[in-house]
Amino acid sequence: MTERTTAPGDLGRRVARRRESLGLTRTQLAERAEIDPGYLEYLEETAASPAIDTVRKLATALGTSAEDLLGGMMDLPPGRHGPAPRPRLEKLETGECLRLIAPGGVGRVAFDEPGGPAILPVNYVLHKGAVIFRTAFGGPLDDNLRTGVRGVEFKVAFEVDRIDDACGEGWSVLLRGGAHHVSEDELAEAAASGVRPWAGGERALYVRIVPAEISGRRIRRLP
């Protein structure tokens, strides 16, 4: 009997996401994995359940592992596979930093609160050169980031990164700037960014960070 995978549908979404991050078309990936392009389209768009051999071919073509495509690493922190054999650390220019974080996603806000330094993940978008995220009124990103002085803002750090365990590569981008709580007359512009928090609940407070400093690093694997 042919071994089958579990979690159909999730697999297709992971394949499509990985393929798009590598800039591959379906035809190109199908050629690399030696599978029919029509079947790849079916796999990405429906709740297909391919044979494990097909998953392994796709994983090899995508530079990842079958376990990653199947979601086996979802509850584990990234970076467990260790560094590549010949890693090289590069500094990123400002333009490249902004390009990397432009698609939006999840970043981390670092700030001081009464108990000490804190870091919280948030869903963000990059809108007109500024990072925008939503939080709850009265929460730690509200009360702890108000100076009480009009026009004076607490400086925070905002970090985004991407780790490719399979290739031993990755990048990180760090921004620093004032945390601006969007006022009522600025709300329409902030809402136009379309940012949506995964955490749900009432998160009507928009916070904008205009970068005063931007830096980034990338780890590459030498051939």
Q: What is the secondary structure of 10-73 as a DSSP string?
A: HHHHHHHHHHHHTT--HHHHHHHHTS-HHHHHHHHHS----BHHHHHHHHHHTTS-HHHHTTTT
| 29, 19 Cβ separation under 8 angstroms | yes
Residue 50 vs residue 8, higher pLDDT: 50
- Rg of the chain over all Cα atoms, to the nearest angstrom: 21
How far from the centroid of its chain's Cα atoms is residue 105's Cα? 5
The pLDDT of residue 87: 84
Q: What is the mean pLDDT of residues 2-14?
A: 60
Report the C-alpha gap between 56 and 5 in whole angstroms: 11
User: Does 87-221 match 10-69 at the fold level?
Assistant: no
> How confident is the prediction for the chain on average, in pLDDT?
87
In this prediction, residue 30 has a pLDDT band, given cuts at 50, 70 and 90, of very high
Homologous superfamily assigned to 10-69:
lambda repressor-like DNA-binding domains (1.10.260.40)
Handedness of CA 68, 69, 71, 77 (dihedral sign): positive
Q: What is the mean pLDDT of residues 197-223?
A: 90
pLDDT digits (tens, 9 = 90+) for 116-145: 999 999 999 999 999 999 999 999 999 899
The pLDDT of residue 7: 42
The pLDDT of residue 4: 44
CATH code of 87-221, in short, is 2.30.110.10
The pLDDT of residue 75: 65
pLDDT digits (tens, 9 = 90+) for 180-189: 999 989 999 9
Report the C-alpha gap between 154 and 182 in whole angstroms: 14
- Judged by DSSP in three states, 180 sits in strand
Domain spans of the chain, in order of start: 10-69, 87-221
pTM, two decimals, is 0.70
Residue type at 215 in one-letter notation? S
| 170, 163 Cβ separation under 8 angstroms | yes
In this prediction, residue 5 has a pLDDT band, given cuts at 50, 70 and 90, of very low
